[in-house]
Amino acid sequence: MRCLLLLLLGLVIPRQSCCFEFVIDGEWEDDDVSAAQSHQEHRERHKRATLTSEEQEDFGAITGQDITVKSYKVESRITSRFAHVTVRSSVVNSGTKAQSIAFNVQIPKRAFISNFTMNVNGITFVGSVKEKTLARKLYARARSRNHAAGIVRTNSQDLEVFKTEVHVPPGSNIEFELHYQEMMERKLGFYEHSLYLQPGRLVPHFQVDVYIYEQNGIASVETSNTFGTQFAELIKVTSTKDKAHVVFKPSVQQQRECANCTNSAIDGELTVKYDVTRDSTSGELQVSDSYFFYFLAPSNLSPFPKNIVFVIDVSGSMWGVKMKQTVEAMRAILDDLTVEDQFGIIDFNHNVRCWNEDLVPGSSLHTTSAKSYIESIKPNGGTNINEALMRAVQMLMRAFNQDLINSRSISMIILVSDGDPTVGEIKLSVIQKNIKRAMREEFSLFSVGIGFDVDYDFLERIAMENRGMAQRIYANHDAAEQLRTFYHQVSSPLLSKIAVRFSDESVTNVTQSQFDKYFSGSELVVAGRVLPSESSSLSGYTSASSANMDLILEMDADIHKLDEELAKQQHSFTGFAKQMWAYLTIKQLIGERSLAPTAAKKRKITQRIISLSLDHQFVTPLTALLVTNDDDPTEMLLADSPMDPKHGCCSALPATSRVTFPPRPPGGMVYATPPSRPHWLLPATQPPTPSQVKKGEVDETLVTTNGVTRVDEDPHFIIRLPRSNMDVCFNIDSKPGHILNLVSDIGTGVVVNGQLISSKKVHKDKLKTYFGVVSVYYQPEGFSVTVSTDRITTTDGRRSNVFTWGSTAEITHDGVTVSIVKNAQATITINNRIQVTVLLHRVWKKHPVNVDFLGVYLSNSNQYSPLVHGLIGQFSQEPEVRVYGVHEGADPLKKEATMEVKGNKLLVTRGWQKDYTWDRKHGSNVYCWFIHNSGKGFIDGHYSDYIVPDLDSFLQLP
């Protein structure tokens, strides 16, 4: 049970004494309180905890009469999305009388306080985290000495307030120092770090520093403030590839509200918004201090179609501004729907009504009708949440049973309510069980609580238990924008059924690693401890489904690299990895605790939370900060971290939902990704070295590959003719921008085309051309894979998904598999019959001439139809070839001969071309008979006949 404790104690601290009293305003669990009493207090406590507008206006970091604030400094160090914030202030009682001086800090609700110290006239008090019950006993024992301190939670938007108050004689010097830590949440594509600066007066030494270090690089940094536009130019940002520093250091004159004012204009938020560089679709794996962190935030994927049922509270309490702003938000939300989405609307008070009994497409016709319906609603009556949610589930179930829901779509219910149930089933535990029992595993519930009359703890539980999340909306002037923002956070699901896996022998103590959904602009984080090993790297893989394909993403990290980088710079804080893992673990356990099915399970989780909180010195709902005098340990101050009124114990990460995932392979981890090279791409013999070629030490008949035809470099075609046991080469001298058809098979519906790019400039009187883009199009499924030197794009009708070369991945879509090997190659396999491998060639970016380019390799065992053609495809039916009259050529290393093929007699030269299947960096030489004049006489027609208009175009044969 929960109850509220409110202690208001007087305070006297003589100059030579260390006698303290503080204000404590908090709540904690007390199992001796009756359920009825607890429920009543639960309904009342938000009234006592909510800051009034007058209190918000009077709020100041340092309060007191006739005091001098010598300094106020805030320092944040953000390393790999984890922030450690230190707030310091030095104050002097400048008055002639003893007085109370308060130190107040607004901190994010998601943050954990990790320490607080105070020095009063040379007497230092240092904090340590204790189990809450023990801390309170120790505090009570010291109570006779009038020692107290506290933390006050308020229901201001996303904030809580740490508040201490000390009564000191005139001339006293007080130094306050508070530390807290939090994980940056990514929302709508950015991390936001907000610092709440309200010094309450002019400060001679006022400074804010924010240091950011991100190993993979910082993509963008921007700042904003609510003090006023005149402060924007005073906030300085400097950044490099992986570091950023934000400093705000206004002078006393710059702090003034006006030129002659004595009041400070600094009263509000300083926000730093940034995002990191992501060069890998498979996410970012980091290792530091024997802990690992995996960040997954892919973009450029097509969102799932959605099936949404909006369940809107229209009871009497929604009358006025709440309903007006809900209608305003719903207009924008309905405009965001697409024709691929389906939706329904249910509104409820004491009755439940459906705008339409079934889901309808998100067309303009339906959304216009839905807007008119919502605008006509007149709130009145009670609140029947249970029946409204049951009707929503039934609507989804009916569509599901009638096969009206796409198997690759996301079904969700979004509940918007401002109060507790008053009609029908009103027992929250029963409603929770009813929802859990009715919801299918494919459905998710998202809850939005408006204002403070709603039991947010209940809304969060039913959301977390049903694969969703909850959000409190504050009933003020921007409530409509808050509701729209929440919807945008969940309106673009990109992945579902995500499972992150590592070998059991490599990691332990892993946080939540299976997730029901990933939304665009957010981020999934998995952390754990790395077990001792002789290996210098850690690897794992992620499996997931997207709107039109299944994915396997492989990641790896050097276990020493990050620590080596951190040792070179000062932007990070020591021990961040251990604290970050503990933070994520505790947040997850808090969520699991709220959903614990039995008292025994809850006690077990409670003990683990307490143990981790003590080990890592976090003030959580189950621990307290006990501050003691270094010189006299019996002097004690107590800071509680209470449960948030109408919000359970505190903000938590979503608990693990019960989701069905593919079974883990037995006997440890088995990678589902393909081998680094298809078997047919491996050379049958080791190629000669350049020195062997020059010395003539090569037996040309032994230098072959396992039946592969390829085109690489400028572009050089190497056609393997198995029956003749020879390779034939030719170049194509076409223009940049031309698209050449390599394979066109209308029988299987497969086309392979390549687009030419040029070198940076003419070199040796020639502008070289290369393949810069290669496309493989499978017409029966309307599915194409476009490979360029910087990305791989898959397209299915209107849906496109983009993958970088920075990760190893496997993508499956209706018979087509795309296997990407990090920074090396992409292999496209169609129905296990046709396989195309595209090799990536990187060059020095500052090279004056050369550019990155692609090579194309096709197996001679590909099963084309008899209708196949193209520069390469035509040779699937091998022509008769005879070579005779071999003689010395102008170049002594290159013999010449006559070739008869397709009724033509051609002068050919014995030479070699580069093959990169063995040596990816330098290539190896493959001997072949070279056809001059762009393959004239060897290929059908002229090479210009193979130029096609688009990357997906089939060759038009005469």
Please write the tens of the pLDDT for every residue from 238-260: 999 999 999 999 999 999 998 88
- Which of 62-71, 168-177, 264-273, 830-839 shows the lowest mean pLDDT across its residues? 62-71
From CA 621, how far away is CA 612, in angstroms rounded?
A: 12
Using alpha carbons only, how large is the chain's radius of gyration in Å? 34
Non-local (6+) Cβ contacts of 878 within 8 A are 721, 722, 723, 724
In this prediction, residue 143 carries a pLDDT of 53
From CA 87, how far away is CA 179, in angstroms rounded?
A: 7
Q: State the pLDDT confidence band at 139, using cuts at 50, 70 and 90.
A: low
In this prediction, residue 6 carries a pLDDT of 26
> Tokens 């009813």 identify what position?
434
More confident residue, 194 or 60: 194
Assigned token pair, 421: 């149930």
Contact predicate 935/924, CB 8 Å: no
> Tokens 């991945």 identify what position?
809
- Which of 543-552, 688-697, 898-907 shows the lowest mean pLDDT across its residues? 688-697
Average pLDDT over residues 809-823: 93
Query: 378-382, 892-896, 925-929 — which one is most confidently predicted on average?
Result: 378-382
More confident residue, 667 or 605: 605
From CA 872, how far away is CA 874, in angstroms rounded?
A: 6
In this prediction, residue 466 carries a pLDDT of 95
Per residue in 431-459, pLDDT (tens digit) is 999 999 999 999 999 999 998 788 888 99
Using a pLDDT cut of 70, give the percent of the chain over it.
83
- Quote the DSSP letter at residue 939: B
More confident residue, 687 or 178: 178
Average pLDDT over residues 849-858: 92
In this prediction, residue 631 carries a pLDDT of 60
- CA diameter of the chain: 115
Assigned token pair, 224: 């904003």
CB-CB neighbours of 214 under 10 Å: 24
Per residue in 352-386, pLDDT (tens digit) is 999 999 999 999 999 999 999 999 999 999 999 99
20 pLDDT more than 60:
no
- Which of 143-152, 507-516, 678-687, 948-957 shows the lowest mean pLDDT across its residues? 143-152
Determine phi and psi for 631, rounding to 5 degrees: -85, -25
Task: List the one residue out of 249, 238, 208, 169 whose CA is nearest residue 77.
Answer: 208
Average pLDDT over residues 798-806: 89
CATH number of this structure's domain 67-276+621-640, picked from the four choices 1.10.3470, 3.30.70, 1.10.940, 2.60.40: 2.60.40
Fold for 306-491, please state it: Rossmann fold (3.40.50)
Show the DSSP H helices in 567-665 as ranges. 576-594, 599-616
Q: What type of residue is 356?
A: N
Q: State the pLDDT confidence band at 298, using cuts at 50, 70 and 90.
A: very high
* DSSP E strand stretches across 641-746: 708-712, 716-721, 726-731, 739-745
Q: State the pLDDT confidence band at 206, using cuts at 50, 70 and 90.
A: very high
From CA 405, how far away is CA 793, in angstroms rounded?
A: 27
Q: What is the DSSP pairing of strand 708-712 with strand 853-859? A: antiparallel
Q: State the pLDDT confidence band at 916, using cuts at 50, 70 and 90.
A: confident
From CA 482, how far away is CA 322, in angstroms rounded?
A: 12
322 pLDDT more than 80:
yes
The H or E element containing residue 328 is: helix 321-336
Domain-wise residue ranges, the chain: 67-276+621-640, 306-491, 716-948
In this prediction, residue 636 carries a pLDDT of 53
Contact predicate 722/707, CB 8 Å: yes
In this prediction, residue 582 carries a pLDDT of 97
More confident residue, 700 or 161: 161
Q: What residues form DSSP beta bridges with 269?
A: 196
Average pLDDT over residues 515-530: 96
In this prediction, residue 635 carries a pLDDT of 54
Contact predicate 552/314, CB 8 Å: no
Average pLDDT over residues 193-210: 94
- Average pLDDT score over the chain: 84
Contact predicate 243/213, CB 8 Å: yes
From CA 954, how far away is CA 752, in angstroms rounded?
A: 8
In this prediction, residue 652 carries a pLDDT of 44
In this prediction, residue 765 carries a pLDDT of 80
Q: State the pLDDT confidence band at 664, using cuts at 50, 70 and 90.
A: very low
Q: State the pLDDT confidence band at 825, using cuts at 50, 70 and 90.
A: very high
Query: Taking the chain, what is the end-to-end CA distance rounded to the nearest angstrom?
Result: 84
Average pLDDT over residues 19-31: 36
Task: List the one residue out of 857, 826, 858, 819 whose CA is nearest residue 840.
Answer: 826
- Cα torsion at 566, 569, 573, 574 (round to 10°)? 50
13 pLDDT more than 80:
no
Per residue in 600-625, pLDDT (tens digit) is 999 999 999 999 999 999 988 888 88
Q: What residues form DSSP beta bridges with 791?
A: 804
In this prediction, residue 36 carries a pLDDT of 38
More confident residue, 629 or 672: 629
Q: State the pLDDT confidence band at 686, using cuts at 50, 70 and 90.
A: very low
The total number of residues shown for the chain amounts to 958
In this prediction, residue 667 carries a pLDDT of 32
Q: State the pLDDT confidence band at 632, using cuts at 50, 70 and 90.
A: low
